[in-house]
Amino acid sequence: MRYLTVYYALSSPTTTAQLCTKSLKSSRFLKVFYECTKAALDAGCNFLDNAEVYADGAAEVSMGKVLKRLNVDRSELVISTKLFWGGKGVNQRGLSRKHIIEGLNKSLKRLDLEYVDLLFCHRPDNDTPIEEIVRAMNHVIDQGKVFYWGTSEWAADQLVEANGVADRLGLIGMYIYN
């Protein structure tokens, strides 16, 4: 699998977030993003990574617009997104069942997709029981909105616990660790 990761870097995190949000909404940025994505796909890239937090959701909107314009066969792509920081409200962040379901629905709407191939838990959530996270990830898989789930920056003991919960309950365990 070949993948494309687009990074934005400036000296100040606040400036970076503001610039990215404004840039991702500009037609000039969309043109460049379109050209980069097309070049990556033409070179054999098929994995496109996103997150609800990237530019406060504007990155997912841009990706959705570019994919629609490129008119690529969806079955040829592997598209992921990540959940954890969906907003400032208490229910808009973390990995509660509520946020996994609602956050994914918002991401799919921004991406203009019916499903993502991979859904990552962007960070561990020590306030949500791992069993709740495993069950919620299986719920969105059962709905056909996600094919596989994984984690990012989880500790080894959390990975073991989550896969143990999945095994014990006869559910789908993590497919990928990042």
* CATH number of the domain encompassing residue 67: 3.20.20.100
CB 107 within 8 A of CB 83: yes
Could you tell me the pTM of the whole model? 0.86
b/e sequence 71-97, b meaning 16+ C-beta within 10 Å: ebeeeebbbbbbbbbbeeeeeebbbbe
Q: Which of 7, 34, 54, 148 is catalytic?
A: 54
Give the per-residue pLDDT at 7: 43
What is the extent of the structural domain holding 57?
3-177
Catalytic annotation present for 54 = yes
| 78-83/3-4 β-pairing | unpaired
Dump pLDDT digits (tens) for 95-113. Answer: 999 999 999 999 999 999 9
Q: What is the pLDDT of residues 60-69, one digit of tens each?
A: 999 999 999 9
Q: How many domains does the chain have?
A: 1
Q: Which of 23-37, 58-72, 87-101, 156-170 has the highest mean pLDDT?
A: 156-170
